[in-house]
């Protein structure tokens, strides 16, 4: 498959065997979603053949596609042939009079419904939903009324409807809280068919995958194990190939030196022998990896005071509904706080209430509402904010370069270009209109702003959404190296485990403040449980 001059993959021959769980990896733009469409049959390859089972369950990246449908109908739609027949049949039954042709068609549709076991479709779908933890009271609800984790379970039921031999999942953990991610991991580890999943969650891939199918070097290479196993194996293979090429080039240089010195002399047969050896050793350059690694480094313009934030009896409510109340604590410079809790419980509300009580460029943001109680930001605190809806915080009608430059008009053009280059906006890409930026590009542009402004207190709400694994790893490293203070809302378990020094856990309308790492927090929770 290629788009114009860009080759995504070429001459790929591989098998996704039953009982194995494959993670499909590669940077943004490598062709993961395109390859998934080839596997599902939604797209045809430009060359070659895809052989697949008759029934495949698919969860697409767009989890809002069925928002206006009832949950139980969304499940039945997993059998497209049955759903189309049921829909057309309903239209014909609604007519007062049927023509002869319509009567014949109705008979055909009844045949399809019978073949596809459509007469038990609702009860079969209800059994699936019950098994996935969606209670009967929610079966008639519209999908838009369900929480993120519930919606993914309904879509998983849709994918499983009709007992498919293979499951294709594109970013199934998007918008899931940690509890829902853990449930999905357990479910998939017990799935007996063939699984192919795209995810930018390293911990998720390491937990569920028996193999990794990596899109790189214009092909797809299968590695045994999880994501970390693949990275190690790929690095070792690459190092061996590069060492072999270096040895060949050294040998070629020696042979060419001999040929140039003796080609005009009496050692013609030896020269010819050396020339043949050069031809044998000549090798084409290594195909370039399509992996691009951004470089993120958050420096401080100046440090904050020793206590950058103090809360006393901090609370937030919507009318009569309390989100959290009575939260108090003192926070020292350099702490990295991970905020945990189910979706919709109030994590973003907490972040916005803190910002609304602060000073600087973010306290006038729309949709901020102050909480009650005392919020004291410390001496010399400068806040840098990454919003969950970060795409909306980038003004339209200008280029990426212009948008970034406005935050430090004194910065030189070379400095701005350098920052953009670090975040993979090379050459003319810095002149891209802001309205044309993808979700990942928008996130990287905001990291550029944070690196330019050099704040000493970072507030980040779901910064890994839309990032590929290379960018997430770069962000992980940057937060660990950052000398300032961080409040981080994320569902990325590896990021929490590797950077957090303190945990704020939403629990029963209050915030539990745990002073320790995520591993220590889990151990405490396990003992308590």
Q: What radius of gyration do the chain's Cα atoms show?
A: 28
At 496, list the tokens: 């929490």
- Strands of 319-468, DSSP E: 321-331, 336-340, 372-377, 383-386, 457-461
> Are 407 and 523 contained in the same domain?
yes
Max avg pLDDT among 1-5, 185-189, 289-293: 185-189
C-alpha–C-alpha distance, residues 243 and 12, integer Å: 26
> Are 187 and 101 contained in the same domain?
yes
Does any domain span residue 72?
A: yes
Closest CA to 399 of 437, 453, 426, 444: 437
Q: Are 122 and 113 in contact (CB under 8 A)?
A: no
Long-range contacts of 315-319 (CB under 8 A, 24+ apart): 315/371, 315/372, 315/373, 316/346, 316/349, 316/350, 316/353, 316/369, 316/371, 316/372
Per-residue pLDDT of 241-271, as tens digits, reads: 777 777 888 888 888 888 888 776 667 778 7
User: What pLDDT score was predicted for residue 360?
Assistant: 58
C-alpha–C-alpha distance, residues 159 and 461, integer Å: 30
* 395 three-class SS: coil
Does any domain span residue 301?
A: no
> Are 467 and 421 contained in the same domain?
yes
Helix axes 268-281, 227-262, angle to 10 degrees: 160
Q: Please state, rounded to an integer, the average pLDDT across all residues of the chain.
A: 88
> Are 82 and 207 contained in the same domain?
yes
Q: Where are the alpha helices (DSSP H) in 263-395?
A: 268-281, 347-356
Does any domain span residue 286?
A: no
Per-residue pLDDT of 443-493, as tens digits, reads: 999 999 999 999 999 999 999 988 888 899 999 999 999 999 999 999 999
> Are 241 and 142 contained in the same domain?
no
> Are 377 and 485 contained in the same domain?
yes
User: What pLDDT score was predicted for residue 6?
Assistant: 82
User: What pLDDT score was predicted for residue 518?
Assistant: 95
Residue 146's CATH number? 3.40.50.300
Residue 470, Cβ neighbours under 10 Å: how many?
Answer: 17
| H or E segment and range at residue 489 | strand 485-489
> Are 332 and 357 contained in the same domain?
yes
Domain residue limits at 237: 233-281
Max avg pLDDT among 59-63, 82-86, 128-132: 82-86
User: What pLDDT score was predicted for residue 211?
Assistant: 97
User: What pLDDT score was predicted for residue 292?
Assistant: 78
| H or E segment and range at residue 182 | helix 178-189
Q: Is the pLDDT of residue 276 over 70?
A: yes
Tell me the β-bridge partners of 505.
340, 512
Does any domain span residue 424?
A: yes
User: What pLDDT score was predicted for residue 222?
Assistant: 94
User: What pLDDT score was predicted for residue 290?
Assistant: 64
Cα dihedral sign, 422-426-432-436: negative
* 99 three-class SS: coil
> Are 178 and 247 contained in the same domain?
no
Q: What count of residues does the chain have?
A: 529
User: What pLDDT score was predicted for residue 389?
Assistant: 84
When pLDDT is averaged across residues 169-184 and rounded to a whole number, the result is 84
Per-residue pLDDT of 156-166, as tens digits, reads: 899 888 778 99
Q: Return the DSSP state at 197.
A: E
Last residue of a domain, one of 193, 209, 230: 230
> Are 180 and 258 contained in the same domain?
no
Strand order in the sheet with 309-318: 321-331, 309-318, 372-377
Last residue of a domain, one of 242, 265, 281: 281
- Kindly write down the DSSP assignment for every residue of 509-528, as one continuous string: TEEEEE-S-HHHHHHHHHHH
Does any domain span residue 292?
A: no
Pairing of strands 194-198, 166-170: parallel
> Are 240 and 385 contained in the same domain?
no
C-alpha–C-alpha distance, residues 495 and 509, integer Å: 25
Does any domain span residue 299?
A: no
Q: Which residues of 107-132 are buried (b: 16+ CB within 10 A; e: fewer)?
A: eebeebbeebebeebeebbbebbeeb
- The backbone torsions φ and ψ at residue 274, rounded to the nearest 5 degrees and listed phi first, read -65, -40
> Are 208 and 237 contained in the same domain?
no
Task: Specify the number of domains making up the chain.
Answer: 3
Last residue of a domain, one of 200, 230, 260: 230
Least confidently predicted of 174-188, 294-308, 411-425: 174-188
* 252 three-class SS: helix
pTM of the model: 0.77
> Are 413 and 424 contained in the same domain?
yes
C-alpha–C-alpha distance, residues 104 and 109, integer Å: 9
Does any domain span residue 303?
A: no
Torsion of CA 322, 326, 332, 333, to 10 degrees: 30
Does any domain span residue 47?
A: yes
Closest CA to 455 of 300, 296, 295: 300
Torsion of CA 216, 477, 391, 412, to 10 degrees: -100
């Amino acid at each position: 498959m290629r788009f114009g001059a860009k080759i995504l993959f070429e001459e790929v021959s591989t098998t996704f065997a039953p009982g194995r769980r494959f993670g499909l990896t590669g940077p943004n733009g490598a062709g993961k979603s395109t390859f998934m469409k080839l596997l599902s049959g939604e797209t045809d390859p430009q060359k070659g053949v895809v052989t697949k089972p008759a029934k495949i369950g698919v969860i697409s990246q767009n989890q809002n596609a069925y928002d206006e449908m009832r949950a139980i109908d969304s499940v039945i739609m997993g059998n497209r042939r049955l759903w189309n027949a049921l829909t057309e049949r309903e239209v014909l039954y609604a007519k007062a009079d049927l023509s002869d042709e319509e009567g014949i068609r109705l008979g055909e549709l009844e045949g399809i419904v019978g073949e596809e076991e459509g007469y038990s479709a609702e009860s079969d779908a209800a059994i699936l939903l019950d098994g996935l933890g969606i209670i009967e009271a929610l079966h008639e609800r519209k999908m838009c009324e369900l929480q993120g984790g519930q919606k993914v379970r309904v879509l998983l039921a849709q994918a499983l409807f009709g007992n498919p031999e293979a499951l294709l999942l594109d970013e199934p953990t998007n918008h899931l809280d940690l509890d829902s991610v853990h449930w999905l991991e357990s479910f998939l580890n017990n799935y007996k068919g063939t699984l192919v999943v795209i995810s930018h969650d390293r911990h998720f891939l390491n937990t569920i995958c028996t193999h990794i199918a990596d899109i790189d070097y214009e092909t797809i290479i299968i590695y045994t194990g999880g994501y970390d196993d693949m990275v190690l194996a790929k690095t070792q293979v690459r190092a061996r190939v590069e060492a072999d090429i270096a040895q060949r080039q050294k040998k070629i240089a020696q042979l060419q030196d001999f040929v140039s010195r003796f080609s005009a002399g009496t050692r013609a047969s030896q020269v010819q022998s050396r020339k043949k050896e050069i031809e044998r050793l000549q090798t084409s350059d290594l195909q370039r990896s399509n992996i691009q690694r951004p470089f993120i480094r958050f420096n401080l313009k100046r440090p904050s005071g020793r206590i950058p934030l103090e809360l006393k009896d901090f609370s937030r409510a919507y009318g009569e509904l309390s989100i959290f109340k009575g939260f108090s604590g003192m926070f020292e410079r350099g702490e990295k706080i991970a905020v945990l809790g189910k979706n919709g419980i109030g994590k973003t509300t907490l972040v916005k209430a803190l910002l609304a009580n602060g000073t600087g460029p973010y306290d006038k943001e729309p949709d901020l509402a102050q909480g009650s109680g005392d919020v004291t930001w410390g001496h010399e605190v400068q806040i840098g904010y990454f919003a969950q809806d970060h795409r909306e915080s980038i003004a339209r009608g200008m280029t990426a370069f212009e948008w970034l430059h406005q935050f430090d008009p004194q910065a030189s053009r070379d400095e701005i270009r350098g920052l953009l280059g670090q975040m993979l906006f090379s050459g003319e890409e810095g002149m891209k209109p802001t309205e044309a930026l993808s979700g990942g590009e928008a996130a990287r542009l905001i990291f550029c702003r944070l690196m330019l402004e050099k704040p000493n207190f970072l507030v980040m709400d779901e910064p890994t959404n839309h990032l590929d694994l290379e960018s997430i790893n770069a962000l992980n490293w940057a937060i660990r190296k950052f000398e300032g203070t961080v409040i981080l809302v994320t569902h990325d378990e590896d990021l929490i485990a590797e950077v957090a020094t303190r945990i704020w856990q939403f629990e029963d309308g209050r915030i539990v403040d745990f002073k320790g790492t995520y591993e220590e927090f889990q151990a405490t929770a396990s003992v308590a449980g």
